[in-house]
A and B are shown apart, each in its own frame.
Chain A
Amino acid sequence: MAEAASIIQAEGIGIRFGSRSIFNDVSFEVRRGEIFVILGGSGCGKSTLLKILIGLLPPTSGRALVLGEELARLRGQKRRDALARIGVMWQQGALLGSLNLMQNVALPMEQHTQLPPAARDALARAKLGLVGLGDAATRLPAEISGGMLKRAGIARAMALDPEILFLDEPSAGLDPITSAGLDALIMTLSRETGTTFVVVTHELQSILAIGDRCIMLDKEAGGMIATGKPKELRDHSDNPTVRAFFRREVMRA
């Protein structure tokens, strides 16, 4: 079977804050329709790489092409159009506390479409129904659990049927059952909608459950140390850090 076209290209990305280098020379491709995982230990720069990909942070070196564009360099209408084609779910959901779930999900529609209010509400309800929150549409973010917040965050990220969904630590802080439910939701959405997922996580179970391909960043190495299918990395990697990560071993100095 022919490989799907690449939808994201990271070419030699490096980032430093002042004299502190976070990572260097990170290169990879994400193919259309796959679930791509960026993994690594705490502090290795996973979320920083995500911010570079979605254009919130310009890299110090290299470039990140998402849907053929460098989002960090786009301005005005071109930037708004490009942002309408991606969705981002933040680690804590990042829902606006003063709006209920339906209003949160309808917010991108209000900004990017000409849909009338009734249409926005109906579509927002449908998106909440897709993530299993159909009966919580009028609840405020402060009134729901952490797992529900993440689901609502996914519903908002999916508001405009984006081509790529970026998820930052979707399983972090969740119990194993809720976390497994979220993994199942991501796989269902990927299968049914064909959306490309880029997932930042360090949760081993999630990586193995949902990841089609992955890259691993390492703080000590200051960059990418492995790329491939998660199960292959777990079973066949020669890199001691990768092996230790997948086998939950303590690295010896």
Chain B
Amino acid sequence: MVLRPPATLDLPAAAALWRPMLGAVAERRVTIDASGVTKLDSAGAVLLLEAAGGSELRPPQDAKAAATLERMRLALAAAPPPKPALQPHWVSRIGMAVLNGIGGLGRRVSFLGEVTLGTLAMLARPWRMRRVEVLRHLAEAGTAAFGLCALLGTLFGVILAFQSSIPMRQYGAEIFIPNLVGISLLRELGGLMAAIILAGRSGSAYAAELATMKVNDEIDALATMGVDPLAWLVLPRILATILVMPVLALVVTLSGLVGMGFVMATLGYPPPAVLSQLRQYLQVGDMVGGLFKAACFGLAIGLIGCRSGLKAGGGPRAVGDAATGAVVASIVATVVLDGIFAVLFFRLGW
């Protein structure tokens, strides 16, 4: 059987003929007679060559079309189809995952060690800390986040109070809503909410900023100038997150209590009654424990954000990947830390 493509075998014609022509050559042995082709572009040439495979191909008589066919033949010969990537055996995949996990853990511990050593060195010579940078990060991570924390804290307090009022009303126990909301916010939720806000706002920003600097070789430039990137870039950020987190947690907690007070007022309980309940039930230790946890969350978020940025790879996706990784890891670390603290405080009888 002889297949004779049309005289004009350009891109639209190749698109239309691709499936029928390759289907025909797959079914039986054919000869492709392209001697009548006078207009051939690269798509048409690739179609002829792919269809020819092991079949006979009579080239175009037109000199220009023949030259195009020959050029594309050489180009295709230089570009063999890529071999499908071999999937490793599932046992190997598990092994690689375990090794990667151990390696990743090792690198995290190593980074923590570097930061600890850097902090000790900084404590020995505190004048080397860039106070301007610390103040800038305090303002960006803290002051600029106050409004958002106050808004979300208030709404959170309103939601908590409303939701808990529904079952408590059945037992006439609405007066205990301040106890429930107050202890939740002070010991757990204030710090958690603030941590999520800090991770989303500042942790991602740290990762993106440092990853951009890494991609632009700014980190290497600092190192070659004899400036320790850890002291210059990482410690001010971590110090800022540690200092700012308890304040943000306090803002979320107080705003939440205000929101709860508003709901209680709508339920007929005046502010003095609510305050009296809070004073009777809450202790200074609850607040101190909550704020201590918040500072630890701040340390984790600062560490994770900076490490995500500094370990960023190359290419345009590096910055986005670093920011995403920082937010996800920060939130996971915060919840894990909170769980550890819950067990620890329970054991300590706090």
Contacts and interface: CB of A to CB of B under 8 A. Distances in A.
Interface stretch (B71-79, B235-243, B252-260): B71-79
Interface residues of A, number: 31
Contacts of A138: 82, 85
B316 interface: yes
A116 B12 CA distance: 11
Contacts of B18: 115-116, 118-119
A119 B43 contact: yes
B19 interface: yes
Contacts, number: 86
A119 B79 contact: no
A125 B81 contact: yes
Contacts of B41: 161
B42 A161 contact: yes
A119 B14 contact: yes
A121 B313 CA distance: 28
B79 A142 contact: no
B15 interface: yes
Contact of A128 (B42, B50, B79, B314): B79
B12 A114 contact: yes
Contacts of B14: 115, 119
B47 interface: yes
Contacts of B250: none
B46 interface: yes
A129 B77 contact: yes
B11 interface: yes
Interface string B283-313: 0000000000000000000000000000001
Given A98-B317, A161-B41, A129 B46 contact: no
A43 interface: no
Nearest to B81: A125
Interface in B51-110: 67, 71-72, 74-82, 85
Given A115-B18, A192-B67, A122 B78 contact: no
A113 B11 contact: yes
A140 interface: yes
A140 B43 CA distance: 24
B132 interface: no
Contacts of A141: 315
Given A122-B46, A129-B78, A161-B43, A115 B15 contact: yes
Contacts of A126: 42, 45-46, 72, 75-76, 79
B67 A137 contact: no
A134 B50 contact: no
B49 to A, nearest CB: 8
A112 B3 CA distance: 27
A119 B46 contact: yes
Contacts of B67: 192
Interface of B: 11-12, 14-16, 18-19, 22, 41-43, 45-47, 50, 67, 71-72, 74-82, 85, 313-317
